[in-house]
Structure 1
């Protein structure tokens, strides 16, 4: 088949038809034709030649050219596609390395095999272009809801026709025991779009929390308009869910707007989610208040928040315990997902028992260390004293407010407390010196004898050893392992040393040892401050 004037326009017409059918750029089809013709020409003229084909976008005329590149004589490898500067002088004036010489060659006639090869190249290019178009289209739609028709089911995974492609709803992304038949309409959330060798892979979900949020956005105009904002969603797909909302308009109740007249809006979402029960909760910036709301319908008596550990302790009436926990722990689990905190729930009787135990332990501490009777020790605990340091170094006026305590008694209490603490400090220092602690660590400001003893027991014997410690090794912290938060105990954690304090001590040690230049450190901190200020302005 020769490319004559009779079929030149036919090339363009074919390209237009294919592009229109596949909804891709006609230019991509023409480029595929050019590549296929060039490949056919190489089989005719020689595979080592650099043959290129250009099709005129208006007339359809195909021009075949041979390209040769000027290279250094030592680098000449392919005589058919490269030539030296000396050879190039026969064709060009003042040739330079890197220049190209282009000459037109006669068009080729496509035999049956060459024509079949050209067709395969065009089809491959068209498929690639179609895949790229699908990927770009669905990538932009990731995070939205899409409607499709079920095509088939493979090993529990549902293949869904989404118009210009196919998507997969995996069995673990279906709600409960949902089953579909070919032709059924299904509404899903586009969870992920990936570019893979076999084409774009579109993964759908009906269990994602975002699916519920998008459904509410469709049903509640105030959410779509941004008047009401969904702050958090937690789901146990097909069973129960909690959604936290806040209104940016004081005149609109966010919970009432989401519920709708006679529950019409929330019921539409419930029906789509196979009867999943939904608790709509008002969001609050105050974490304890928000948690009280999140644990509805259970009542909460008391909340204690540990921000550093990201844990929260909740006290509920004894009769509310099962309601707060929920069936198989569902209620507290959803509340934990909604707030992003680990929640410990205890009853009022359990909390009372714990407080009584702490009271007894502190009473015993004061009785043994200060040589007090039980009644006097209980008085100290009742006034809020929890340890010997508080008794030893508190302002004396705070001891005088205790019934039966005069100035002499207060001074005697502080003397006993200080003597006991000093004895403990001497004992701790002696133990640390036995372990081989060096003087430069003993002299380091900020470390008590008990801290030095704890460091020595772990092998930290010098200021150099101390300077190599990480802040979390000293203060402790939390890490996530397999989705569970795990506590890392710090060497100085029991002495109430926090991360910031630990970081400052380690940096001070490094400066004293000359490992860090204070001027460079100050300059780096100023630069970080300027960067932070710039980000805030942006």
Structure 2
């Protein structure tokens, strides 16, 4: 009964199943038995779960032909001991209880400690593996080279130096609150990794401080942090009667100040989330005022124009404000002043006007009219509906038709030059036959040494886009071109298979 009491006490202390402790004891007794009677024997130990009695036995397998005399017995001998024995059965011989010597007792203790530790590690891993993203409280157990070991009560966790806030120092015994970032099962036991810099840590703190977020009435859509310095969070309310920003700030800023205090004074901008990217970016750049935004959805970029006196505020110290706004919205943000935007617009106007003057052989007045109407390339003029050109003031049908004819002639001349250059580079006709590749793209491919179908087929979609230009095609279109280039591989395979069948 003492064994059962000890097992019960250890199980309670380590918070593991009592059965694990008894199995560890059985393993230790079995090991001691093999040390006494010989390791070659199949010796097993069992502790009676009701009485605590130790049952030590030796197992012998009944076989037709004995290969190992220590663990096997032939059928004839087995029948002398048990007439009902048959091949595959085991004969069980009871062994006298072991009188544990000092070495045997020490070995048994080591086995029990090891097994109990393994059971404890398994329990810890099972308990914490599904708690990723949860905020926990603990006590600092020790600090080594800036890495903090935190006692969570039922397990230990690691808060690495790079997951702590800048200028944050812990001493043994300090209370710490952090996010469970990852839980890994490793040979030395489960490793629980904490973080105080992760965006989800800030989300969790607001969830604890703002009841509306906890209840799901207000949702945090995005978080961007410069840990220890500044952060932006975007929130939206599912109830039109509740202001999401005001609820997160709280009465006299009490709710947000509780989060700021936990994050060592990190300044937090709370921003209303908006489905419209332009409005969202304008909100994200607060407190700076924005005069105008221009979206380029294909490049996922947005140009933001601000008054001259708002430029430094929009960019922020060391670019912090615009960087956080870009992280929060997922858009690349370029900021310029109204004067810079005006200069860029004028330069762009002059460049396009010059292009039209040279390509279409027209005077500056006609070129300016085309640019003012939003035409950006000769291709647009060549292929646009004639009615769009005649709709321009001072353009009649004859002028519009002449402009389109000149644009088509210019493009034809350009394509002829590019075609000649393509051939001179050695780009094959098979590559040129792929409809989606323009003459300009073929020349760019030739510059990069992509001259045959096999060269093109060996590219990845993003590599093709990098060669021809990001604005030239989408990733799906690039992959379609590459698959078209690979089509002859499959055709060759089919012909080879047909030849083998013949």
State if a TM-score over 0.5 links the two structures.
Answer: yes
Number of the residue aligned with 1:521: none
In 2: Cα distance, 1:133 partner to 1:269 partner? 33
In 2: Cα distance, 1:201 partner to 1:467 partner? 45
Q: 2:154 aligns with which of 164, 172, 188?
A: 164
In 2: Cα distance, 1:83 partner to 1:396 partner? 102
Number of the residue aligned with 1:528: none
- CA separation of 1:445 and 1:340: change in aligned 2, threshold 3 A: closer
Per-residue CA deviations over 1:92-145 (Å, capped at 9, x if unaligned) read 76744x654433333322222212211221122222222222333333433222
Bigger shift: 31-40 or 439-448? 439-448
Which consecutive residues of structure 2, in runs of 5 or more, have no partner in the other structure?
495-502
In 2: Cα distance, 1:509 partner to 1:319 partner? 54
Bigger shift: 206-215 or 180-189? 180-189
Asked if 1 retains the 8 angstrom alpha-carbon contact of 2:448 and 2:467, the reply is no
In 2: Cα distance, 1:468 partner to 1:167 partner? 47
Q: Tell me whether 1:24 sits opposite 2:1 in the alignment.
A: no
Per-residue CA deviations over 1:465-524 (Å, capped at 9, x if unaligned) read 4444433333x1xxxxxxxxxxxx233656x23322333333344446654999xxxxxx
- CA separation of 1:384 and 1:106: change in aligned 2, threshold 3 A: same
Number of the residue aligned with 2:497: none
Number of the residue aligned with 1:412: 402
In 2: Cα distance, 1:462 partner to 1:202 partner? 53
Number of the residue aligned with 1:524: none
- CA separation of 1:462 and 1:329: change in aligned 2, threshold 3 A: closer
| Equivalenced residues, count | 493
Q: 2:227 aligns with which of 234, 237, 242?
A: 237
In 1: Cα distance, 2:106 partner to 2:152 partner? 33
Q: Tell me whether 1:506 sits opposite 2:482 in the alignment.
A: yes
Q: Tell me whether 1:490 sits opposite 2:467 in the alignment.
A: yes
- CA separation of 1:274 and 1:38: change in aligned 2, threshold 3 A: same
In 2: Cα distance, 1:314 partner to 1:86 partner? 95
Asked if 1 retains the 8 angstrom alpha-carbon contact of 2:62 and 2:85, the reply is no
TM-score, normalised to structure 2, is: 0.89
Number of the residue aligned with 2:286: 296
Per-residue CA deviations over 1:398-426 (Å, capped at 9, x if unaligned) read 22233332232222222222222111222
In 2: Cα distance, 1:229 partner to 1:336 partner? 20
> SS of 2:127's equivalent?
helix
Q: How much has 1:235 moved relative to structure 2?
A: 1.8
In 1: Cα distance, 2:52 partner to 2:378 partner? 96
Number of the residue aligned with 2:106: 116
> SS of 2:228's equivalent?
coil
In 1: Cα distance, 2:302 partner to 2:487 partner? 38
Asked if 2 retains the 8 angstrom alpha-carbon contact of 1:511 and 1:517, the reply is no
TM-score, normalised to structure 1, is: 0.84
In 1: Cα distance, 2:291 partner to 2:314 partner? 12
> SS of 2:304's equivalent?
strand
Alignment of 1:150-189 (within 5 A): 150-189=140-179
Asked if 2 retains the 8 angstrom alpha-carbon contact of 1:312 and 1:342, the reply is yes
Q: How much has 1:73 moved relative to structure 2?
A: 5.4
- CA separation of 1:167 and 1:512: change in aligned 2, threshold 3 A: closer
> SS of 1:141's equivalent?
coil
Bigger shift: 255-264 or 136-145? 136-145
Asked if 2 retains the 8 angstrom alpha-carbon contact of 1:370 and 1:416, the reply is yes
Asked if 1 retains the 8 angstrom alpha-carbon contact of 2:461 and 2:479, the reply is yes
Number of the residue aligned with 2:267: 277
